[in-house]
Every structure is written in structure tokens, then in C-alpha cells.
């Protein structure tokens, strides 16, 4: 589409999201890896019979099938995502489940039609997450509940044997993302205020629980694929070269290379930890 002179450019989200963005492969890898913990979190939320549930920012729709398996009789789940590609994939993954392409800041639903809203790793993509919570809370019926989930509020543990290198790598990733998206440190760290977002949006009965996703050697295939493809190659890799001292970059490259004898995921002492926090509140 050609924009008219002077027309405002479509505003992208804090992390570059637009209706045309596609990182479906990454989402699939994450959901296959974190499936046990995510399913357990869904099963732990009580949902009355005949409820309507919205998965806002549903990505490739993996959770829609888990919701369907968990819901009581007569209840339905609906997906919504900004990305047209993600929404299309979600329709295929969760056949028979309605999935709409839409912006959760201006959701294409009437107010007060959902009993539960579930949104995982999505609100931190917004420039104003509290506005996102408010927009989603308006969709709740009286007595309805919203569950907002976020992984990695505390730093993931990758290298149990080398906290120093891990800290340098984490800082390098933050510096890379600050440069890539032109974000300030405070915009990035705002994600830690999950509970504060719900409070500032005026919601009641805010509760929170953090689960640990924990994996040790020997890893299942889904765990190794997520860590190797999403983290070692997708999040770290060559892009961190200019953000680390050469000696640290060289050490990281060896730990992340399946062809190297020092490959981290083959170490018997490999121990991975990632937090998954879910805050729940009433509308
Ligand atoms: C990190 S992914 C998480 C997807 C999914 N919840 C999951 O756990 O796999 C973030 C998702 O939020 C979507 N998203 C970002 N901004 C959005 C917005 N304003 N409205 C709706 N969806 C949005 C993205 O397209 C992406 O699919």
C-alpha cells in the first residue's frame, strides 16, 4: 500500500508488531517446549460452565486447543491476534475455534461478552500495557476475570556453571534490543510491573503466581530445539558479537555450537530455569 503524502505511518508496537509481522516459528518452538507448564496453568484457572474465554494475542493458537480440552461443557474459547499470519495459522491449528485478526487495544468485540480473558506474553509488546489491560477488562462480564501471563520476569538460568558469562549475555541482549527497537531501559523493564498494570487499570482482587519451567540434561527434543533455535541462534548468535568482549563472545559461540565439545546442552550439569508468572484479577 502506498501512503498518501503526510499520512501518519502505521504505528508499530514497542517490539515492532504490526498486522504483517510473522514470527510463527519462534512461537511454535516456545509453545511446544513450555506446553506442560502452560497447560497446567490453564487447567488451574477455574472456569464456570458455558463460559466464553478470549485468548488475546493468541499467536499461532497452540493455547486454543489446550483451552478447549480444559473447558467445562458448553464453554467456548475465541482467539484474537494482531498478526494476520499468526491468526491464519491459529485457525488451522485450532480448527473449529473462532480466531479474529484484531488489535487488542481496539478489540472487535462488544463490551461485557467474555467471562475470562487470557493473554500470555503479549501485553509487553504494547507501548502502553495498562491501556491494553483496560481495553481487555472492558470485554469482561460482571464478575469476569483476566489472566495476564509473562515469562522471564526474573532472568533465565542457562549456564549454571558460569553466572558471570550469563549476566554479560543478558546485558548484551538488552543492549541489542534497546538499539534495535529504539527503546529506553525503563520501557523494557516495565514488563516487571505485571501486578502494577492490573492495579493501575483499576482491577480488583489481584493475585499472582509464578511457576518455574525447569529442564535438566538429558533434554527432550522439544526443549533442545527451543533452546538451540530460539535462544542460542535466534536471540543470541552473531547479533551479539558487537555487544560482548571478544573472549566472552568466543566462549558463548562454543557453548551454543552443537559441533563443539563444550556445547552447553550436552553437559550433564546443564540446568535451565525460566519463570512463568500469571497475574489474575477481576474486572
Ligand atoms: C510473544 S507472542 C505470544 C503469543 C501467544 N500468546 C503465545 O503465548 O504463544 C505475542 C503475540 O501478541 C500479538 N500482538 C502484539 N501486539 C498485539 C496487539 N496490539 N493486539 C493483538 N495482538 C498483538 C503478536 O502478533 C504475537 O502473536
pLDDT in tens, 227-262: 999 999 999 999 999 999 999 999 999 999 999 999
pLDDT at 7: 39
How does pLDDT run across 201-217, given as a tens digit for each residue?
Answer: 999 999 999 999 999 99
Order the strands of the 271-282 sheet from edge to edge: 99-101, 76-81, 52-56, 114-120, 140-151, 271-282, 204-216
How far CA 274 is from CA of 28, 70, 154, 165, 211, in Å, comes to 17, 24, 8, 17, 9
**What CATH number did the domain enclosing 76 receive?**
3.40.50.150
Average pLDDT over residues 275-279: 98
Asked if the structure places residue 6 within a domain, the reply is no
Instruction: Decide: residue 84, CB within 10 A, 0-12 exposed, 13-18 middle, 19+ buried.
Output: middle
Cell of 258: 552443537
pLDDT at 184: 83
| Number of domains into which the chain is organized | 1
Neighbours of 214 (CB within 10 A): 11
Average pLDDT over residues 77-97: 97
Query: Is 59 near ligand 1, meaning CB less than 6 Å away?
Result: yes
pLDDT of 141 above 50: yes
Query: Is 150 near ligand 1, meaning CB less than 6 Å away?
Result: no
- The range of the structural domain enclosing residue 66 comes to 24-282
Average pLDDT over residues 35-39: 98
Neighbours of 276 (CB within 10 A): 21
Asked if the structure places residue 50 within a domain, the reply is yes
Q: Identify which has the larger pLDDT, 183 or 27.
A: 27
Ligand 1: residue of 81, 101, 234 to mutate (most ligand atoms within 8 A of CB) is 81
Cell of 114: 467474555
Is-above-0.85 flag for pTM? yes
Asked if the structure places residue 16 within a domain, the reply is no
Average pLDDT over residues 79-106: 97
Asked if the structure places residue 69 within a domain, the reply is yes
pLDDT band of residue 1 (cuts 50, 70, 90) is very low
Amino acid at each position: 500500500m502506498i501512503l498518501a503524502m503526510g499520512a501518519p505511518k502505521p504505528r508499530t508496537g514497542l517490539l515492532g508488531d504490526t498486522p504483517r509481522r510473522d514470527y510463527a516459528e519462534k512461537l511454535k518452538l516456545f509453545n511446544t517446549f513450555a506446553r506442560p507448564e502452560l497447560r497446567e496453568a490453564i487447567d488451574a484457572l477455574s472456569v464456570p460452565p458455558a463460559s466464553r474465554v478470549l485468548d488475546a494475542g493468541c499467536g499461532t493458537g497452540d493455547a486454543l486447543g489446550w483451552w478447549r480440552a480444559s473447558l467445562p461443557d458448553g464453554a467456548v474459547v475465541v482467539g484474537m491476534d494482531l498478526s494476520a499470519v499468526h491468526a491464519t495459522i491459529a485457525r488451522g491449528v485450532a480448527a473449529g475455534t473462532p480466531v479474529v485478526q484484531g488489535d487488542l487495544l481496539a478489540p472487535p468485540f462488544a463490551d461485557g461478552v467474555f467471562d475470562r480473558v487470557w493473554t500470555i506474553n503479549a501485553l509487553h509488546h504494547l507501548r502502553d500495557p495498562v491501556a491494553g489491560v483496560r481495553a481487555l477488562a472492558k470485554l469482561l462480564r460482571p464478575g469476569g476475570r483476566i489472566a495476564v501471563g509473562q515469562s522471564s520476569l526474573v532472568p533465565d538460568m542457562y549456564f549454571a556453571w558460569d553466572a558471570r558469562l550469563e549476566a554479560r549475555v543478558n546485558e548484551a541482549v538488552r543492549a541489542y534490543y534497546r538499539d534495535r527497537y529504539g527503546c529506553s531501559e525503563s520501557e523494557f523493564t516495565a514488563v516487571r510491573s505485571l501486578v502494577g498494570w492490573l492495579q493501575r487499570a483499576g482491577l480488583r482482587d489481584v493475585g499472582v503466581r509464578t511457576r518455574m519451567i525447569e529442564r535438566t540434561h538429558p533434554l527432550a527434543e522439544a526443549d533442545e530445539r527451543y533452546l538451540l533455535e530460539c535462544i542460542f541462534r535466534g536471540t543470541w548468535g552473531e547479533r551479539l558479537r558487537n555487544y560482548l568482549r571478544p573472549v566472552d563472545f568466543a566462549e558463548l559461540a562454543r557453548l551454543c555450537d552443537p559441533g563443539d565439545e563444550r556445547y552447553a546442552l550436552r553437559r550433564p550439569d546443564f540446568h535451565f530455569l525460566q519463570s512463568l508468572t500469571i497475574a489474575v484479577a477481576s474486572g
